[in-house]
């Protein structure tokens, strides 16, 4: 496997690891009724740097793909797939806890599934749909929203008490970010349709 694709693979491998670490304290507490304060503290300190490294691999795979001449049609498909795989995992985790809007998550998943279908049809026609500026902006919003959610969660895991006023403002910010993610997702999707919609017309 090419080095650039190995970095991409890190994001796919990290997604289930994130889920495991994220839910481990509550699972142990609910299943075995044990004190999980230590597990909460460990995951509180670990999750943000781990997610940060996973997101950093998005830069590394592109950097080494260009530096080593490893840019390929497979990489153009594998990279956005890994991004979506990780970001949906993170947002879904907070949706389970009721901290991220369920409707926003569903709308995001619908968009990503449809976009994946467009990529598959395009691949059949010999066209590799690489990420466009709108798609990259959407991805940045996913990442930022995930880190805001995770920061609030990790602060609580470590044991710090967030003032109610700050928490209320943060909750409003998260709601706004959720709908901004949806808006960016569909605006970018329309852009992809405008530029690659002929691929679908040729098949229909």
pLDDT in tens, 72-125: 878 888 888 999 999 999 999 999 999 999 999 999 999 999 998 888 888 877
Q: Is the pLDDT of residue 18 over 70?
A: yes
Write down the pLDDT at residue 121. Answer: 85
| Least confident span in 53-62, 108-117, 175-184, 195-204 | 195-204
Write down the pLDDT at residue 6. Answer: 93
Write down the pLDDT at residue 204. Answer: 63
Write down the pLDDT at residue 128. Answer: 76
Q: Is the pLDDT of residue 14 over 90?
A: yes
Write down the pLDDT at residue 127. Answer: 80
- Judge contact between 17 and 49, C-beta under 8 A: no
């Amino acid at each position: 496997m090419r080095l650039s694709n190995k970095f991409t693979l890190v994001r796919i491998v990290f997604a289930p690891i994130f889920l495991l670490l994220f839910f481990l304290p509550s699972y142990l507490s609910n299943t075995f009724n044990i004190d999980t304060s230590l597990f909460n503290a460990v995951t509180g300190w670990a999750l943000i740097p781990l997610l940060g490294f996973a997101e950093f691999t998005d830069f590394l795979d592109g950097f080494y793909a260009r530096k080593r001449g490893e840019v390929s049609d497979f990489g153009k498909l594998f990279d956005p797939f890994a991004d979506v795989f990780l970001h949906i995992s993170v947002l879904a985790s907070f949706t389970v806890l009721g901290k991220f809007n369920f409707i926003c998550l569903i709308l995001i998943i619908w968009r990503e599934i449809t976009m994946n279908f467009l990529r598959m049809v395009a691949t059949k026609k010999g066209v590799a749909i690489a990420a466009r500026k709108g798609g990259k902006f959407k991805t940045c919003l996913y990442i930022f929203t995930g880190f805001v959610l995770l920061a609030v969660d990790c602060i609580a895991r470590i044991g710090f008490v967030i003032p109610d006023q700050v928490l209320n403002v943060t909750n409003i910010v998260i709601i706004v970010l959720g709908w901004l993610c949806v808006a960016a997702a569909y605006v970018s999707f329309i852009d992809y349709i405008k530029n690659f919609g002929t691929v679908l017309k040729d098949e229909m």
